[in-house]
């Protein structure tokens, strides 16, 4: 059996979840260099809901991809708890990606030929969990997302909101402490967007997940985040408490 993580949000002290220092990601394109990230220093506390704002091309996805171990930085440091991602090999990065983070994308990125259950169960395969247990846990997660009756459906037989809830179930499968969401409601109508955002809020408040929400929607970021970091041309131009932050 997979045991659930009984994480308690620290009451009186902050625990740093991740920290970047002078983080850069440069892409060499022929004779020119795209400075997608150009010296980002930031800290995120455990249990925080951080909004990452910025116009298109400001470097939001690049930063999220580095945090998620999908790519290596050009320079700078990136620590998640006590691990330095800059020093990791590709294999170690992919282990980090499977164990420590769950990533949710705008376009859901589900495998179209697989059922909802199999999409979720697949991500547990690498953790060496036996098949029957993977399927049981996938069912439990889908049910907790209100998808009890949709387990054998393939992505094209699901609405956008349902597909995103499958993707969230998949992101939660290995019980990561950190959830990264890249424009998770970008393809959804406003009612469904609110449902998905409320789910993320519950995962933050009830389960203590640290959440980094990438969006270009300032109102959405202010409504759900505790703090907002704004990027422009690959650098941080502001880092402030969200206008609507309750705590």
Ligand X SMILES: Nc1ncnc2c1ncn2[C@@H]1O[C@H](COP(=O)(O)OP(=O)(O)O)[C@@H](O)[C@H]1O
Query: In angstroms, rounded to a whole number, what is the distance separating the alpha carbons of residues 184 and 31?
Result: 34
91 binds, among Mg ion, ligand X, none (CB under 5 to 8 A by kind): none
Please say which residue, 2 or 34, places its beta carbon nearer to ligand X: 34
Please say which residue, 65 or 169, places its beta carbon nearer to ligand X: 65
Please say which residue, 62 or 174, places its beta carbon nearer to ligand X: 62
**Rounded least distance, CB 94 to ligand X, Å:** 18
**Rounded least distance, CB 25 to Mg ion, Å:** 13
User: Which residues are near ligand X by CB under 6 A?
Assistant: 27, 29, 34, 36, 54, 56-62
Q: What letters, b where the CB count within 10 A reaches 16 and e where it falls short, cover 114-127?
A: ebbbbbbbebbeee
Among 98, 78, 94, which residue's Cα sits nearest to residue 86?
78
**Rounded least distance, CB 26 to Mg ion, Å:** 17
Contact of 102 with 179, CB cutoff 8 Å: yes
User: Which residues are near Mg ion by CB under 5 A?
Assistant: 61
57 binds, among ligand X, Mg ion, none (CB under 5 to 8 A by kind): ligand X
160 binds, among ligand X, Mg ion, none (CB under 5 to 8 A by kind): none
230 binds, among ligand X, Mg ion, none (CB under 5 to 8 A by kind): none
Please say which residue, 58 or 210, places its beta carbon nearer to Mg ion: 58
Q: Which residues contact 49 (CB under 8 A, 6 or more apart)?
A: 200, 201, 204, 210, 211, 213, 224, 225, 226, 227
Q: Which residues pair with 21 in a beta bridge?
A: 77
**Rounded least distance, CB 200 to ligand X, Å:** 18
**Rounded least distance, CB 60 to Mg ion, Å:** 5
**Rounded least distance, CB 85 to ligand X, Å:** 17
Please say which residue, 58 or 193, places its beta carbon nearer to ligand X: 58
Q: Which residues pair with 101 in a beta bridge?
A: 178
Cβ contacts of 9-15, under 8 Å, gap ≥ 24? 9/46, 9/47, 9/208, 10/46, 10/47, 14/45, 14/46, 15/45, 15/46, 15/47
Contact of 110 with 153, CB cutoff 8 Å: no
Q: In this structure, what are the phi and psi dihedrals at residue 13, rounded to the nearest 5 degrees?
A: -140, 155
**Rounded least distance, CB 225 to ligand X, Å:** 16
How remote is the C-alpha of 59 from its chain's centroid? 16
Please say which residue, 37 or 124, places its beta carbon nearer to ligand X: 37
Instruction: Report helix angle 160-172 to 190-205, nearest 10.
Output: 20
Please say which residue, 46 or 61, places its beta carbon nearer to Mg ion: 61
31 binds, among ligand X, Mg ion, none (CB under 5 to 8 A by kind): none
58 binds, among ligand X, Mg ion, none (CB under 5 to 8 A by kind): ligand X
């Amino acid at each position: 059996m997979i045991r659930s993580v009984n994480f308690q949000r620290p009451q009186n002290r902050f625990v740093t979840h991740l920290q970047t220092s002078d983080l850069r990601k440069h892409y060499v394109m022929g004779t020119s260099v795209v400075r997608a990230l150009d010296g980002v220093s930031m800290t995120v506390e455990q249990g925080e809901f951080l909004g990452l704002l910025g116009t298109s091309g400001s470097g939001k996805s690049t930063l999220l991809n580095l945090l998620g171990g999908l790519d290596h930085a050009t320079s700078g440091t990136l620590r998640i708890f006590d691990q330095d991602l800059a020093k990791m090999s590709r294999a170690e990065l992919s282990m980090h990606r499977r164990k420590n983070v769950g990533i949710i994308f705008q376009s859901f990125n589900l495998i179209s030929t697989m059922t909802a259950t199999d999409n979720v169960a697949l991500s547990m395969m690498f953790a060496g969990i036996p098949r029957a247990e993977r399927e049981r846990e996938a069912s439990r997660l889908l049910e907790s997302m209100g998808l009890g009756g949709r387990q054998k459906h393939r992505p094209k037989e699901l609405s956008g909101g349902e597909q995103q809830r499958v993707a969230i179930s998949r992101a939660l499968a290995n019980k990561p402490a950190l959830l990264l969401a890249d424009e998770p409601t970008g393809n959804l109508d406003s009612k469904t967007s609110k449902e998905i955002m409320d789910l993320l809020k519950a995962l933050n408040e009830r389960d203590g997940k640290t959440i980094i929400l990438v969006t270009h929607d300032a109102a959405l970021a202010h409504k759900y985040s505790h703090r907002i970091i704004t990027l422009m041309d690959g650098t941080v131009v502001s880092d402030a408490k969200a206008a609507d932050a309750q705590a």
